[in-house]
Amino acid sequence: MKRSLIFLSLILFSFQSEITAQSAGEGVYLSANDFISRKISFTNDSPGKRYQFHLNEFFKNSSIKVIIGDSMIILSKDSIYGYRDKKGIYFRFYKKAAFEILNPSEKILMYRNTSELGPPRNRNLVTNYFFSETAASPIYPLTKWNLKAVYGKDVHFNELLDVYFHFDDELTAYDNINKIYFLNRVYEESKIESEEKHNKIKEYESKCSIFNNDRN
């Protein structure tokens, strides 16, 4: 009887956890390009009309369900990019799992995903961090090793990773003053310094060319 009550409680919690929106901010991104351009679909843009957004996370369903008025839209998680919830938080579906996008406007996208580990009676919630090179790129665990593998051709960025980050857990540091993740600040710095170095080389080559022409 006790086990039945626990199961019933879990089901009720599941239903209460379904996202029911009353604001127009919630909706679906059908593709990576839609996410980049912030083109959101299936939103609650009609006040007073019934609107429900069901992720079906509790039963690990491979689809989501959106109810707008008398219409029901069922979308496969594999066929869409992600969604934005009623709090304005962005999520991306990748291999049927939902990853929260921490910095949707930054260059290197960073994500987090919470999962349960341990035996059924003693499960612990563990938060892991990930990244992708672009909105459409594969998602990898956020480690220096993986960053260097993805950005292997960006030599200066790889050098700065060793300068600024000694451990993987430092990669999630946030710059509260400039409102940007420090990893992206380092990436931007590497691009600026690389461009300055490139310009200096071009200037030097130009001067050498002029000098050689004068000699001829």
pLDDT reading at 18 higher than 80:
no
Residue whose pair of structure tokens reads 């996208």 in the numeric block: 109
Q: What percent of the chain has pLDDT over 70?
A: 75
Cβ proximity of 142 and 171 under 8 Å: yes
pLDDT reading at 14 higher than 50:
no
Residue 122 confidence (pLDDT): 74
Cβ proximity of 41 and 20 under 8 Å: no
pLDDT tens-digit series, residues 182-215: 999 999 999 886 555 544 434 434 444 444 555 5
Distances (CA, A) of 182 to 53, 163, 178, 190, 193: 34, 13, 9, 12, 16
Taking CA 23 as the corner, what is the angle to CA 17 and CA 26, rounded to the nearest 5 degrees? Answer: 65
User: Element (H or E) spanning 148, and its range?
Assistant: helix 144-150
pLDDT tens-digit series, residues 41-63: 998 877 778 888 888 765 567 88
CA atoms within 13 A on the CB side of 108: 26
pLDDT tens-digit series, residues 117-161: 767 677 788 899 999 999 999 999 999 999 999 999 999 999 999
Cβ proximity of 171 and 183 under 8 Å: yes
As given in the structure block, the two tokens for residue 83 are 């969604």
